[in-house]
Amino acid sequence: MIKVAVCGAYGKMGQEVCLAVENAGDMELAAKIDIQGDAYRTIEEAKKSVDFDVLVDFTQPKSIYENALYCLNNGIKVVIGTTGLKDDEIANLKSLSEKNMTGCLIAPNFSTGAVLMMMFSQMASKYFDNAEIIELHHNQKKDAPSGTAIKTALMMSQAKESFKKGNCPETETVKGSRGGTSYSDIQIHSVRMPGFMASQEVIFGSAGQTFKIRHDSTDRKCYMDGVLLAVRHVIKENDFVYGLENLLK
Ligand SMILES: NC(=O)c1ccc[n+]([C@@H]2O[C@H](COP(=O)([O-])OP(=O)(O)OC[C@H]3O[C@@H](n4cnc5c(N)ncnc54)[C@H](O)[C@@H]3O)[C@@H](O)[C@H]2O)c1
């Protein structure tokens, strides 16, 4: 049995992860960690009382780097769903994971549909000079743009060095109306409002045509197969992985 600790156990994602772990035949929910509710307050506190093989983190952008550093410095394999990590932080976690030979998997999105959206967007990038990303989330989301949008842009940038921003000199009459510029000059637009859970549309354009790739998450259950796959992976391979697409190949 794989003993799993869930950090952020009382959050929207954490609660689903606890249920998924409890229902998985090869896993056991060893510890709940959260700054609220009836749970261990920190990873350190939990580790002193119970034994676990892997920690799954769905907390918040301002905690995730410290949580991940703690795990990798203390031989705790970690699966990270929390978004908001910066490029240099991801690079540091990769070095630490490899140096200490402690498994670490970071996935900005654990749903297979969203991962396929990213892979298809990377494929389409070769054939279009213009592309922009619109991501739409619930209004409790703390980071913008979403980790999924950033990862999509990164994967697209591996297929094309730079995208056109438009086709003529532009003036922004209202600041921010053209969104934020990401990898390969891809514009990302973030929408936050009640009614959405997590959606993203990648729009490609060329003369006389547009091509849209869209994914909608309608229930947090869509992430759970990916989370369980990631847990099984870090236990077995003990390596560093950034992106669930690396496990779907
Ligand atoms: N990778 C994915 O597929 C995916 C999918 C959905 C959401 N997310 C990300 O997961 C994160 C959590 O999302 P959510 O909607 O569940 O948020 P949430 O606010 O509902 O839950 C976060 C939980 O973490 C707890 N928490 C915060 N800081 C903590 C700390 N330092 N230690 C322990 N617990 C702490 C909070 O008390 C809360 O219970 C966000 O970053 C979100 O963007 C990722």
Cα–Cα distance list, 76 to 52, 69, 147, 235 (Å): 8, 10, 23, 10
CA–centroid distance, residue 59 to ligand 1 (Å): 3
Same domain, 228 and 241: yes
- Kindly state whether residues 124 and 83 are assigned to the same domain: no
Co-location of 227 and 207 in the same domain: no
Residue 167 has pLDDT above 80, yes or no: no
Q: What is the CATH classification number for the domain harbouring 92?
A: 3.40.50.720
What's the pLDDT score for residue 43? 98
175 and 161 fall within a common domain: yes
pLDDT, tens digit, 9 for 90 and up, residues 65-80: 999 999 999 999 999 9
pLDDT at 149: 97
Q: How far is the CA of 230 from the centre of ligand 1 (A)?
A: 17
- One domain, residues 132 and 181: yes
SS3 126: coil
- Least reliable range by pLDDT among 38-47, 106-115, 161-170: 161-170
H/E segment holding residue 178: none
**82/127 same-domain check:** no
DSSP letter, residue 41: S
Ligand 1 atom having least distance to the Cα of 143: 43
pLDDT of residue 169: 87
Question: Does residue 239 share a domain with residue 183?
Answer: no
Asked if residue 162 and residue 77 are part of one domain, the reply reads: no
Mean pLDDT (whole number) for 29-45: 97
Q: 155 by DSSP, 3-state: which?
A: helix
Q: Is the same domain home to 11 and 82?
A: yes
Q: What is the pLDDT of residues 177-213, one digit of tens each?
A: 999 999 999 999 999 999 999 999 999 999 999 999 9
Question: What CATH number should be reported for the domain holding residue 190?
Answer: 3.30.360.10
Question: 226 with 208, same domain?
Answer: no
Atom 19 in ligand 1: residue holding the nearest Cα: 11
Count how many domains the chain has.
Answer: 2
| Pair (53, 133) in one structural domain | no
Task: Identify the residues whose C-beta falls under 6 Å from ligand 1.
Answer: 7-8, 10-14, 33-36, 58-61, 63, 81-84, 107-110, 141, 223
Q: What are phi and psi of 120, to 5 degrees?
A: -65, -35
Q: Phi, psi (5° rounding) for residue 147? A: -60, -35
| C-beta of residue 203 within 8 angstroms of C-beta of residue 210 | yes
Range(s) of the domain holding residue 153: 112-217
- pLDDT digit string, tens, across residues 50-104: 999 999 999 999 999 999 999 999 999 999 999 999 999 999 999 999 999 999 9
The DSSP call for residue 127 is T
Residue 60 C-alpha from the chain's centroid: 12
Question: Is the model more confident about 165 or about 172?
Answer: 172
User: Do β-strands 104-106 and 240-242 pair in parallel, antiparallel, or remain unpaired?
Assistant: parallel
Are 158 and 200 found together in one domain? Answer: yes
